[in-house]
Structure 1
């Protein structure tokens, strides 16, 4: 079956992308969300949890090898499809290696495994983003980014939420086996997928890295690359990293954390991402960045009672759902802007480059937030996150 048969219509294209985006987020969601709560419950200090965020930061550096993925690939099997056929089983193997580790006693090896999983997931993200840029027309990109973010949250529900419930009931190794099995699901779809012929990657690798540097010399893009996107992501992710540890410290069980933060929270986020994609198509990116950015600031401030240790179920759950909704909507708009500004011939490289600056700041903010919370406390750290998010809103007028 050819791609022209399977992805000829927009719904079929969206379905293909949704499957791929969901699978690549399973492993990273487990490391970023579930594992953080597991380790905190077992007494690991906040500062050491920050090392996990540093390990996951490698996914933000995918721009360094994105030109390699853009340049090399099999013409017979499909340029980006050939990468997917290798990366998907590699992620499964990386997860299976976790079954023999103890999450606390083997923390160093766990950090290495997190780094490898993040690198593989990021590499798949480059390939899938490039396929999306090639397959979709400009008016379809808002919906596609909604599906990308929604797919990430579906992966987060399974990797960050369901995995906590499984761990609480059946233990470590069975949980990892389920994650590995879910990660392998889209491989059959990739096998049936025939990538359409795109622009030939005839330029040398050195030329492509030169083009990457050229992206940062475009003055009209610098405010987006260096101010708007980094501030938005830093504010969002600094607060997001604290949610699990704050709930654990407030006495919530791991099952309760999983239900609220990932299953219910990410379920709401899926809807928020899809709706945001549709709103971007109607109202444009600038308006949506301001509206969703202000919602994000309000959502971060709504977490302050939890930061002070007050965590009644209903108000706390509502605050987390609001935060997840605003997070997903903001991420959808940010991705749409980056996709719109990507050059088709360098699709994977450009999109990854624009995501990298913000992502490096985001993961860095997550690590700093955990360290700062250990010394200055949760309330001061959350307030700083809200200030960063609001700075991003103020800078929206510079978006090209």
Structure 2
């Protein structure tokens, strides 16, 4: 949604309102890896089968379907801390309880119980994201939205570093149970931030059911007609190759080149996250230079080709330099492609319904990340890791073909947004 331009002279100073937004961004990002790649590493080091690890990736389905219950948070405020902070606090406490619950079990003895609690963790995390995004939108005045967004992204990236890289390193030395309890303690610290953070000064009135649920979808299909299905398909397909390659990446790094948890945490996760952030920034420059259609094509091809770099690791053994190069390239070009993709996603939204339409489209883009794990786990034993990564690169072709087919509407969407 466009916001008013703010001159450098009018840029706000850091204050508690802005700082609390950044700290709550940390809370928003912390649970993602703990129900995803870090949990995958736990199951891998416990010696579970590749098939079991593939099914574990399905615990994150709440991130795909969160748009279904997002309107309820508008219509059903909790009786404490206002419309947004009450939900944020409740979900933070639920996340902390789930993390403690996970620490009481092991994959060897209670894999199904761990998976069930991880589903609960993902649900609480996705619901926290809904409330936090709304709170940030309501809280920040136009002059502070740029700084607020930057601090929120910084907090989110830092949390992924803590729950990904640091968690793996600590697990190598302290054990998984203590790691998950430490992460629960961080969530409780974030709950304190929620209680102390300011209320939004002018919260919007609760929408009617039609406005909150039906109208955004009716508007989307009315504006795009037959093209609407093409746009929805593109949301799923464009990042498919990226999600496919990363679906079992932690298991691959542990079992094939046989890196340790500490090596993966120190090199892969740290280099990857920094490269992803740089790629996202470079993607903004690329979109302005190449325009959106060309950027989607060029960057889509690039993010497919870098998947082939993992074949090097199949044969290199535990070569840290090779891992750093491959993972950095993967995350850098993924960040580039993601920036162009988000520009398209934003352009497709009607500013009257941007929250719900954005939630719908972004949820579809998470389908590959959540649902490809079992397919990858079945495919790897059939074809081997090298051919698997070739297949992941080829899986970019349907998305690229759809970008080419929609090139006219993409250029039109770039020029104007619905109001």
The answer to whether TM tops 0.5 is yes
Residue 271 of structure 1 corresponds to which residue in structure 2?
278
Equivalent of 1:42 in 40, 46, 51: 46
**2:414 is aligned with 1:380:** no
Q: Kindly state the Cα deviation for residue 390 of structure 1 after the two structures are TM-superposed.
A: 4.5
Q: 1:352 to 1:241 in 2, by over 3 A?
A: same
Q: 1:361 to 1:314 in 2, by over 3 A?
A: closer
- Are 2:21 and 2:152, in contact at CA under 8 Å, matched by a contact in 1? yes
Q: Kindly state the Cα deviation for residue 81 of structure 1 after the two structures are TM-superposed.
A: 2.8
Equivalent of 2:241 in 217, 235, 246: 235
Residue 87 of structure 2 corresponds to which residue in structure 1?
83
Structure 2: how far apart are the matches of 1:393 and 1:140?
33
Instruction: Trace 1:234-313 onto structure 2 (pairs within 5 A).
Output: 234-249=240-255, 250-277=257-284, 285-307=292-314, 310=317, 312-313=319-320
- Are 1:265 and 1:320, in contact at CA under 8 Å, matched by a contact in 2? yes
Q: TM-score, with normalisation over the residues of structure 1?
A: 0.85
Residue 123 of structure 2 corresponds to which residue in structure 1?
119
Structure 2: how far apart are the matches of 1:287 and 1:152?
29
Q: Kindly state the Cα deviation for residue 94 of structure 1 after the two structures are TM-superposed.
A: 1.4
Deviates more, 1:353-362 or 1:145-154: 145-154
- Are 2:25 and 2:155, in contact at CA under 8 Å, matched by a contact in 1? yes
Residue 32 of structure 2 corresponds to which residue in structure 1?
28
Query: Any gaps of 5 or more consecutive residues in structure 1?
Result: 1-7
Structure 1: how far apart are the matches of 2:362 and 2:340?
12
Structure 1: how far apart are the matches of 2:187 and 2:151?
18
Deviates more, 1:150-159 or 1:11-20: 11-20
Query: Any gaps of 5 or more consecutive residues in structure 2?
Result: 1-10, 414-419
Residue 55 of structure 1 corresponds to which residue in structure 2?
59
DSSP 3-state at the match of 2:242 = helix
**2:170 is aligned with 1:166:** yes
Structure 2: how far apart are the matches of 1:100 and 1:50?
22
Deviates more, 1:91-100 or 1:337-346: 337-346
Residue 357 of structure 2 corresponds to which residue in structure 1?
350
Residue 5 of structure 1 corresponds to which residue in structure 2?
none
Equivalent of 2:326 in 301, 310, 319: 319
Q: Kindly state the Cα deviation for residue 57 of structure 1 after the two structures are TM-superposed.
A: 1.8
Q: Which has the higher contact order (CA 8 A, sep 6+)?
A: 1
Residue 194 of structure 1 corresponds to which residue in structure 2?
199
- Are 2:12 and 2:144, in contact at CA under 8 Å, matched by a contact in 1? no
Residue 5 of structure 2 corresponds to which residue in structure 1?
none
Residue 4 of structure 1 corresponds to which residue in structure 2?
none
- Are 1:163 and 1:175, in contact at CA under 8 Å, matched by a contact in 2? yes
DSSP 3-state at the match of 2:36 = helix
How many correspondences in the alignment?
390
Q: Kindly state the Cα deviation for residue 90 of structure 1 after the two structures are TM-superposed.
A: 1.7
Residue 416 of structure 2 corresponds to which residue in structure 1?
none
- Are 1:88 and 1:184, in contact at CA under 8 Å, matched by a contact in 2? yes
Q: 1:260 to 1:215 in 2, by over 3 A?
A: farther
Structure 2: how far apart are the matches of 1:340 and 1:84?
29
**For each residue in 1:68-96, what CA deviation from the matched residue of structure 2 results, as whole angstroms up to 9, or x when unmatched?**
12333269844323321222222112111
Residue 66 of structure 1 corresponds to which residue in structure 2?
70
Q: Kindly state the Cα deviation for residue 108 of structure 1 after the two structures are TM-superposed.
A: 0.4
Structure 2: how far apart are the matches of 1:9 and 1:189?
21
DSSP 3-state at the match of 2:395 = helix
Q: CA RMSD in A?
A: 3.2
Q: TM-score, with normalisation over the residues of structure 2?
A: 0.81
DSSP 3-state at the match of 2:106 = coil
- Are 1:234 and 1:388, in contact at CA under 8 Å, matched by a contact in 2? yes
> Larger Rg: 1 or 2?
2
